[in-house]
Each structure stands twice: as structure tokens, then as C-alpha cells.
Amino acid sequence: MTEYATVAPDQPLSRSGAIHLYGHDAFEGMHRAGRLAAEILDAIVPLMVPGTETRTIDDAIRAKMLAAGAVPATLGYRGYTHSSCISINHVVCHGIPSDRILKDGDIVNVDVTPLLDGWHGDTSRMYLVGDVGLKARRLVDVTYECLMLGIEQAKPGNTMGDVAHVIQRHAEKHRYGVVRDFCGHGVGRLFHDAPEVVHVGRPGTGPELRPGMIFTIEPMINIGRPDVKLLEDGWTAVTRDRSLSAQFEHSIGITEDGCEIFTLSPAGLHQPPYA
Ligand code: MF3
Ligand code: CO
Ligand code: CO
């Protein structure tokens, strides 16, 4: 049984298991947080070249958030000590910024969540470093298409299963594996809230989408099998078969007749190449 709970402006929230339904104030707040997140992903494009250490990217992201009056929601989150996740090649998600240097041919996901005036803008994009092979570029393109196909289904009257189904169908048409072990999530006042936004499923199943819901869609798609494993650091998730993995993420809000994407790139840098 799915429960829905209407959130009043400035109401303190905790995870209750219910799906939170937000009002106009929340959509305004999410627009501001989401735009900042997207601007940051736009601004790091010049750093996404061979020779950059991933911690330099993380430092730039933190500086931009602080300069805008936001804080990185990941900083101190469950013991995580960085301002972004940077996941390269076979890393599925939660790659830790380090002295790893970007090299020619890498495909890289950068995931950021500024917390601005109490609102979490959660988004990630793929970047191509130097010359990337055709197979990898195709994975990145199809993963972007998966996200946008899912977003097309995000409207009142549909269910989470409708969103999941189109993502799974598109990925599997290309013989890719859809990661099951990580999901999208409710977002807003809380970083990770109900519901779980799965990326595989059957039409008409799962929670019904209602106006006021705010959540992420963030499919992780592998060239090979869907299976992941966690590295010793407790964060880095990699494909078990070491195949390449890609991900894009938007934070969206359900409206009366569809949805709003809070994290669209103001510069139009939606999918690579960004040059
Ligand atoms: N931004 C990630 C997401 O999309 C969560 C990262 S949590 C961290 O949900 F601690 F790993 F940073
Ligand atoms: Co997310
Ligand atoms: Co994210």
C-alpha cells in the first residue's frame, strides 16, 4: 500500500515511508537548486579533458556550490567526504574523487547535489574525455535516451512501472544491462526519500504518479550484465564483468499535465559531445 502525504511550506520533514506531495514553493525551490546543479555540470566541461585529476573537479564543484550559497549534500552524507561522485568507465556510480587522472577515451559520470535554501538539486551527466570509441559513445547516447524516455512517461495517471518499463525496453533493445542495485529516489527537502524509482519494471505496476511528487530518474546502463560489486572503500560500485557503464540523472516534479525538469542545462549541454 502506497501512502501519500501533502507537505506544507517550511514543514520539517523526515523519512516516513510516505511519498511526499509538494506545493508551489517547493517547485520554486527545486528550480533554483536544480538550476545551480546544472550550471555546475555546465561549468566543469573545460576540466573534462585528459590530464585532470578527479579531485580537481571535485574541488571546483565544492567551490562553485559554496560561492552560490549552497552546500554539497554529499559532504558528510553517511560518512562520504566529497562534494561529487565521479565514476569512470566500468564504475557504475559513487566513484570517489581522487588522484586518478582523466585519460583519453574515458567516459565519465559526474553527479552533484547542491543543497540550496533547504532544497536538493540532484543531477548527473556523462562526459567524453578526448577520443572515445564508438561502442562507448553508443552506450552514452542510449543511456541519455533511456533517461529522457523515462521522463516522457512521468505524468499523472502513469505509474513508476511505466517509467521503468520504457527505460528497460530501450536499454535491452540494445542488449545492454540495466542496473538493479541502485535506484532513483524521492528528493526535495530530503536527499533520499520515498519512493524508490526503479529502472526495470512492467507497465501499470508500482506507485501511481501524482502532481506534487518530486523525484530523480537516474538509470545506470551497462554494456554487459546488470550485476555490480562494491569495492573495498565501501562506496565505489563497479560492473562485475568490468563492462562499461553510463548514467544520466535529472530531478523532476510531477505537474497537473506532465512534469518539470529542474536540472536542465541552461547552456544546452544535455548530452555529449559538449564542444
Ligand atoms: N547523488 C547520488 C544520487 O544520485 C547520491 C550520492 S551519495 C554519496 O542519489 F554519498 F555517494 F555521495
Ligand atoms: Co539521485
Ligand atoms: Co545524483
Ligand 1 center to residue 74 CA distance, Å?
6
Upper half-sphere CA count for residue 246 (Cβ side, 13 Å): 25
Give residue limits of the domains in the chain: 17-261
Distance CA 82, CA 62 (A): 8
135 C-alpha to center of ligand 3: Å?
A: 24
The residue nearest atom 2 of ligand 1, judged by CA position, is: 111
Cα distances (angstroms) measured from residue 204 to each of 155, 165, 166: 13, 9, 12
Q: What per-residue confidence (pLDDT) applies to 275?
A: 82
Residue owning the nearest CA to atom 8 of ligand 1: 74
Mutate to test the pocket of ligand 1, among 191, 217, 230, 262 (most ligand atoms within 8 A of CB): 191
Cα-to-centroid distance, 263 and ligand 3 (Å): 11
Most ligand 1 atoms within 8 A of CB, residue of 74, 123, 199, 220 to mutate: 74
Residue 1 pLDDT: 80
Distance CA 30, CA 36 (A): 10
- Superfamily of domain 17-261 in CATH is Creatinase/methionine aminopeptidase superfamily (3.90.230.10)
* Helical segments of the chain, H only: 24-43, 54-67, 134-152, 160-173
Distances (CA, A) of 210 to 20, 68, 193: 10, 32, 16
Read off the C-alpha cell for 112. 552533484
> What is the rounded CA–CA span in Å between residue 238 and residue 242?
7
The pLDDT of residue 99: 98
**Pocket of ligand 1 from Cβ distances under 6 Å:** 74, 77-78, 80, 85, 94, 111, 113, 122, 218, 235, 249
The closest ligand to the CA of 82 turns out to be 1
Peptide bond into 226 cis (omega under 30): no
Q: Which residues of the chain have pLDDT under 50?
A: none
Q: Which ligand is nearest to the CA of 184?
A: 2
Ligand 1 pocket test, candidate residues 82, 122, 217, most atoms within 8 A of CB: 122
Q: Report the DSSP beta bridge partners of residue 259.
A: 254
CA distances from 179 to 95, 128, 161, 221 (A): 16, 21, 15, 6
Ligand closest to CA 72 = 1
Q: How far apart are the C-alpha atoms of 85 and 101, rounded to whole Å? A: 15
Distance CA 159, CA 197 (A): 10
Task: Determine how β-strand 4-6 pairs with β-strand 19-21.
Answer: parallel
Helices (H) and strands (E) in the chain — how many of each? 4, 19
Ligand 1 centroid to Cα of residue 120, in Å, is: 11
Distance 267 CA to ligand 1 centre (A): 24
pTM given for the model: 0.98
Number of the ligand 1 atom closest to the C-alpha atom of 85 = 12
User: Could you give the dihedral angle defined by the CA atoms of residues 94, 198, 200 and 266, in that order, rounded to the nearest 10 degrees?
Assistant: -70
Asked whether 149 and 170 are in contact (CB, 8 A), the reply is: yes
Amino acid at 12: P
Q: What whole-number distance in Å separates Cα of residue 145 and Cα of residue 157?
A: 22
* pLDDT at residue 43 in the model: 98
Identify the CA nearest to 172 among candidates 200, 213, 210, 209. Answer: 200
If you search the block for the grid coordinates 542545462, which residue do you land on? 265
Ligand 2 centroid–CA 122 distance in Å is 5
Binding residues for a divalent metal cation: 111, 122, 185, 218, 249
Strand partners, 108: 88, 127
In the numeric block, which cell numbers belong to residue 173? 533493445
The binding site for substrate comprises 94, 192
**191 to 71, 249, 264: CA distances (angstroms):** 12, 14, 18
Q: In angstroms, rounded to a whole number, what is the distance separating the alpha carbons of residues 160 and 154?
A: 8
